[in-house]
Chain A
Amino acid sequence: MDAQNQDQSSSLLPIPREEWAAPLHAARKKFLQLALVTGVAARSAGQFSYVRLRHWYYRPTHATSSGALSTHALETLLALVDAFLGLPFERARYADFFAWRARKLAGHRALYEQLAGALDRMATAAGARDFLGADPAIRRRIVARCTRGTKRRWMRWLIAIADRDARRVQSYVLDPVAELYAQTDAWIALGYDAWPGMSRGLEAYRRPNRAPAAASRSWTDAT
């Protein structure tokens, strides 16, 4: 028996170290990587609540673009507000609202532009040049498709799952518009002489409520 064979036979392992150590090292590395990924995934899953999941699923768009809105898109959105509300509203306030959100909030410009394009396509399909050129009745019909509310919970779920775009339009366009309207113009529609957010002074509230004061200054608009 030569020295080499003697060495090999005295070894605890039948194969040289360099032959078994490398794959074992790789396996351990792979195991550690897997454990790390599993750990991180488990930790994330624990923190990934239903609310976050819903927010992710219905977020405005997967793109994160923000920036100036095209004039056509802005005009189309204002026509959408008109068709949605069906009541008088202060146009400049809503134009400012859309322009600011498009500029500042992630994904909103893309969402607004896509929505304007979709409205145009639906209007074209209905025989109009685009949404802006469509008859008010057609506009209302198109908007109604985005607001098909239902009192049945299972139906709401179905719509929410099956028609994510409609849900996005409701959540990120129509609901914020409704909230803005409720905070401002709706007060006038209810018979108030002003709405909170205007500089109303410290005299008027001590007198009986009067008809809407057209001359009242809007504090937010003034700044």
Chain B
Amino acid sequence: MDRRDVAIIGSGIAATAIAWTLVKQGHRVTLFEKGPFGVDPPVRQFQELFRYGYRDPAHEAPRDLKALTVSGEYRHDLNDERVMAVGGSATRWAAISLRMRPEDFRTRTLYDFGNDWPLTYDEIEPYYCRAETLLGVSGDDAGNPFAPPRSRPYPLPPFEPGHADLALSERLGRCGIRLHTTPQARARVDYDGRPACENIGLCTLCPTGARYTPNHHLERLGATGRCTVIANAAVRRIVTDRAGRAEAIVYRPNDEMCDIEHGANVVILAAGGIESPRLLLLSADDHHPNGLGNNSGQVGANFTMHHSWSGVLNYPEPVYGGRIGAVTTQCHQFRDPPGRGRHGGVRIDLSSNFLGDLPSTRGSRSGAEIVERMRSLPFRRGLIFEAESVPDPGKRVTLSNASDRFGDRLAHVQYAANDFDHRTYGFVCELFDRLAEASGGEKAALKRADEFHSGWHHMSACRMGEDPRTSVVDSYGRVHGVSNLYVAGAGTFAGTSGAVSPTLTIVALALRTADVIANQIHTTKINSGPFAIGRSSK
């Protein structure tokens, strides 16, 4: 059995932030990724997709390994919302990097819904600063009275509002609705080896590297010689010893027949909001018959997602949306609205980079017909309402009856919106009406209540808390009952991340976890305690 310091399952943004911190301090880290390596920046993928109209499945894990089953009423392809490749889902993200508000950590106390987090905004604030530095966040809170307090300025200047944004901002401002810039991990100017954004606009696969992806750091980590990424390998379970501590992980290269056991002094599970609970459940053993960290049946029980609805407003004059790829303007005014508790808070994305659902060109018979189908484009503006949600018995991650190629049960997600979500949708409809009236736009479309999208934000299935009876991990991500096993990622959130994208909070928490692990390894190295490095192999 190979024995190294730290094993991280997953190679996404949380895994990378932890690896970056630990390797910089001299520790050895091995990351395990089910999907293949990618290149940073992903020029080839960009060209295949946007120049030749081809999505190569080889850029991700095989479909039978990247799979899940779903029941309930979620209408979108949940499996498509997970990227299983080195770098994880943050190789495709929109890069919006927002902090939660202080109130978001105390919703049970303040508004009688959701769960209080076992940490406060003040505790996480320094880590938000570090996360912004790591990701290279461009931003400015000057025009945003709803931004949470900060101890350090953003590392990069903001993306300014566009021409169309200013006109809209003025109209909305007259009706008391404030728009402002959006912090994002997209380089406004050259930063840390990344070039300034050129506004190419097809940002899901930024071909220049201006938008942050974990591969930016993973490639550097590889060069240190202290970090190894094992790609195309599925981790099947985490092994614990008689004392109940994680001592190894068992993985199998995707195309091989034999398992390999990899010893580790610390194991970090950072495989995403659905795969992480799955692996805890798959790792059941004599000491943990219900799965690791699942003595109280909490693994998977608190799963929730953001609920996002998109809409379109049409204007009589052309506004020419879509001339910028970066996210320019948002409205945070309703993140913590007066009715919060009865319904959720809502963040509104009014950036001119979004045009709503584009018309299909399939079956077109001429160029003129294509142009005609797209005729409304210059006159329209897309909106996204991203709302917080709450855990519910109708939302859960469990193990499926279906299995992957190795016979390991897949994850099963049951998801159904609850009354809170429906009331939030009512609030969204009110906001849509207000925005249309204030901006002089005609309401062209708004998704129905049951058409909500998760925004790719899968949260809370390994919820953090101080009480093992109601949570899976503590505030550092340490699994209750398994002292050297950690979970990182949005799965550890105590609920949703308010109404904001979770990524910056994921990275801030990951950095906090990394500090604790580094400190523990360092201390126990000296004392030859349970974290002693170099124990003999089995």
**Which residues of A come within 8 Å of B, CB atoms?**
84-87, 89, 93, 96-97, 100-101, 104-105, 144, 147, 149, 170, 174-176, 178-183, 185-187, 189-194, 196-202, 204-209, 219-220, 223
CB distance from A79 to the nearest CB of B (A): 14
CB distance from B481 to the nearest CB of A (A): 39
Proximity string of chain B (11-31) to chain A, C-beta cutoff 8 Å, 1 when within and 0 when not: 000000000000000000000
CB distance from A170 to the nearest CB of B (A): 7
With contacts A105-B54, A197-B50, A223-B43 taken as known, whether A205 is within 8 angstroms of B371 at the C-beta atoms is no
Distance of A198 Cα from B197 Cα, bound (Å): 12
Binds A, one of B361-369, B433-441, B525-533: B361-369
CB distance from B244 to the nearest CB of A (A): 40
With contacts A178-B361, A201-B198, A207-B163 taken as known, whether A183 is within 8 angstroms of B50 at the C-beta atoms is yes
CB distance from B190 to the nearest CB of A (A): 13
With contacts A96-B51, A100-B52 taken as known, whether A179 is within 8 angstroms of B361 at the C-beta atoms is yes
In addition to A104-B52, A196-B322, A209-B378, 12 A-B residue pairs with Cβ atoms within 8 Å of each other are A86-B367, A97-B51, A182-B374, A186-B367, A186-B374, A190-B377, A191-B378, A194-B323, A197-B51, A202-B196, A209-B318, A219-B207
Report whether A200 and B365 are in contact in the complex, using a CB–CB cutoff of 8 Å.
no
* Cβ 8 A contact of B52, one of A97, A196, A205: A97
> Can you list 11 A-B pairs with a CB-CB distance of less than 8 A?
A84-B365, A101-B54, A178-B362, A193-B323, A196-B322, A199-B199, A202-B198, A204-B199, A209-B378, A220-B46, A223-B207
Chain B hits for A179, CB < 8 A: 53, 361
Report whether B368 and A87 are in contact in the complex, using a CB–CB cutoff of 8 Å.
yes
B136 within 8 A of A: no
Report whether B51 and A200 are in contact in the complex, using a CB–CB cutoff of 8 Å.
no
* Cβ 8 A contact of B200, one of A174, A178, A180, A200: A200
Report whether A149 and B50 are in contact in the complex, using a CB–CB cutoff of 8 Å.
no
CB distance from B203 to the nearest CB of A (A): 9
Distance of A198 Cα from B363 Cα, bound (Å): 26
Chain A hits for B52, CB < 8 A: 97, 100-101, 104
Chain B hits for A101, CB < 8 A: 52-54
Query: Which chain B residues in 361-401 approach chain A with CB under 8 Å?
Result: 361-368, 370-371, 374-375, 377-378
Report whether A190 and B371 are in contact in the complex, using a CB–CB cutoff of 8 Å.
yes
Chain B hits for A186, CB < 8 A: 367, 370-371, 374
CB distance from A70 to the nearest CB of B (A): 19
Report whether B363 and A170 are in contact in the complex, using a CB–CB cutoff of 8 Å.
yes
B202 within 8 A of A: yes
**Which residues of B come within 8 Å of A, CB atoms?**
43, 46-47, 50-54, 159-163, 188, 196-202, 207, 318, 320, 322-325, 352, 358, 361-368, 370-371, 374-375, 377-378
CB distance from B365 to the nearest CB of A (A): 4
Distance of A64 Cα from B54 Cα, bound (Å): 17
Report whether A197 and B378 are in contact in the complex, using a CB–CB cutoff of 8 Å.
no
Chain B hits for A178, CB < 8 A: 361-362, 364, 370
Distance of A197 Cα from B43 Cα, bound (Å): 12
Distance of A208 Cα from B325 Cα, bound (Å): 16
Report whether B47 and A223 are in contact in the complex, using a CB–CB cutoff of 8 Å.
yes
Report whether B50 and A192 are in contact in the complex, using a CB–CB cutoff of 8 Å.
no
Chain B hits for A200, CB < 8 A: 198-201, 323-324
* Cβ 8 A contact of B53, one of A180, A189, A202: A180
Chain A hits for B202, CB < 8 A: 196-197
* Cβ 8 A contact of B201, one of A89, A100, A196: A196
A210, closest chain B residue (CB):
B320
Report whether B371 and A219 are in contact in the complex, using a CB–CB cutoff of 8 Å.
no
Would you list the 10 A-B pairs with minimal beta carbon distance, nearest first?
Answer: A85-B367, A196-B201, A87-B367, A209-B320, A205-B324, A178-B361, A205-B323, A147-B365, A200-B199, A178-B364
CB distance from A164 to the nearest CB of B (A): 16
Report whether B365 and A144 are in contact in the complex, using a CB–CB cutoff of 8 Å.
yes
Distance of A85 Cα from B429 Cα, bound (Å): 40
B203, closest chain A residue (CB):
A196
**A89, A175, A182, A191 — which one has the most chain B CB atoms within 10 A of its CB?**
A182
CB distance from B375 to the nearest CB of A (A): 7
With contacts A183-B50, A209-B318 taken as known, whether A197 is within 8 angstroms of B200 at the C-beta atoms is yes
Distance of A174 Cα from B320 Cα, bound (Å): 27
CB distance from B194 to the nearest CB of A (A): 15
CB distance from A48 to the nearest CB of B (A): 15
Report whether A206 and B160 are in contact in the complex, using a CB–CB cutoff of 8 Å.
yes
Distance of A85 Cα from B363 Cα, bound (Å): 13
Report whether B367 and A206 are in contact in the complex, using a CB–CB cutoff of 8 Å.
no
CB distance from B528 to the nearest CB of A (A): 54
Distance of A207 Cα from B324 Cα, bound (Å): 11
Report whether B375 and A190 are in contact in the complex, using a CB–CB cutoff of 8 Å.
yes
CB distance from B81 to the nearest CB of A (A): 19
Report whether A174 and B207 are in contact in the complex, using a CB–CB cutoff of 8 Å.
no
Distance of A196 Cα from B162 Cα, bound (Å): 15
Chain B hits for A86, CB < 8 A: 366-368
